[in-house]
Structure 1
């Protein structure tokens, strides 16, 4: 994870540097990777790496390993079985507290025929904000338009194409015990694979702050009961007040603003400058 450096000034500065909160390419020698867990109801089929699931030197093993390895030397995959299976691959916990614009991305490969056309299985990407007790579905392969039918009417020869999925996680900003789960629920369906799982935010407000050069922009008074002024050596184009979920509450072209109508709490003030740059400052409403 990239380290961000923050100010020890009265207001912590916000930086637009991308911050990686979760990243896994499944190329390591151990599966599941450190911090990941897996479970399955069918003892014959569990999530594993493509090199293990499709091991062997036969032409079929090699073809399947090549088909389901999306990127690098391995991908996470689960093979089909002639029976029911509910199998999950769960990420380590990570925090969305204080971040902005978090997004989940991953690559996925599956066949049109059995998973979509016949719908004998479902692959879900889900999120939990309480360490895995409850889950909310972010993505279902049935609604993914990127998977393609080759049109020949034969489910056994349909295409296996890779789709890159992205989902906005702004609704979960502020949650500190977040996990991502890939759930495969199928009955005599088909193999699927995933790869390059990432959760990236464009910035973070530091809780442990270290020294850096003092910013040329500051807001005052802070904490405030309402009025917020900006001190800067640049020409201000506009200001926006944003809550911790990422929602913009107001926007002004003035060099100051008033948040007296807002509830007590922590907010972000985004200051846009005439030269095209911007900075975001944390403000506390008393």
Structure 2
């Protein structure tokens, strides 16, 4: 009990210090047409859902670093004809993060601003939606202001603060007449420590199916059927498969590095801390 409390406190204090590392990616050192970027030691992938998104560096002076014009950003200009409902994500490969703010350029496919549309911002963690909000007004409609970019402030998005929510994927989806999207000056907060803040990892009870949590390796899994549990890392990689029989099963994850893992079967899913 004491060790569990001590570990939880360590996670809490680690989170306080690790989440203090705010960084702004301006994309100026990234390669043109790259589908990933690295900022503050963290690799982010650019996932294209509708249209193709990557780093744009072919049109100097068309970005916005938060205070002035710059040259590189993420957009879907390489897609040819942009589509209504265009969408992309920024997703980490090894770390969790929080989003503070970013700048978005929204326009029709011919880059005409002032058209009507919607912008939906969704945060996900291990594929689970942690928040989603749709912005319908307040978009910059002329390059005379901030070079055409609109600030998306996650500390006050539709009157709510989403900047303190831990995610591994930020998805941006445009609707209505918004067919072209560009994103610049991505300000985020890095988690360099374990992974989740203390209040986001709940120890499982002995009647919840899997324990102890946290664990330094040994795990007991209770299930009411013969099934298979898969263990996934924060990056979504399958790192271990556990075959279980109906009843109580003893297993071990001592070989895995410290961190938070998702242990799931076809019916159940748990977050487990490996300390």
TM range, smaller chain = 0.3 to 0.5
Greater length-normalized contact order (CA 8 Å, ≥ 6 residues apart): 1
What TM-score do the two structures reach when normalised by structure 1? 0.43
Give the number of the structure whose alpha-carbon radius of gyration is greater.
1
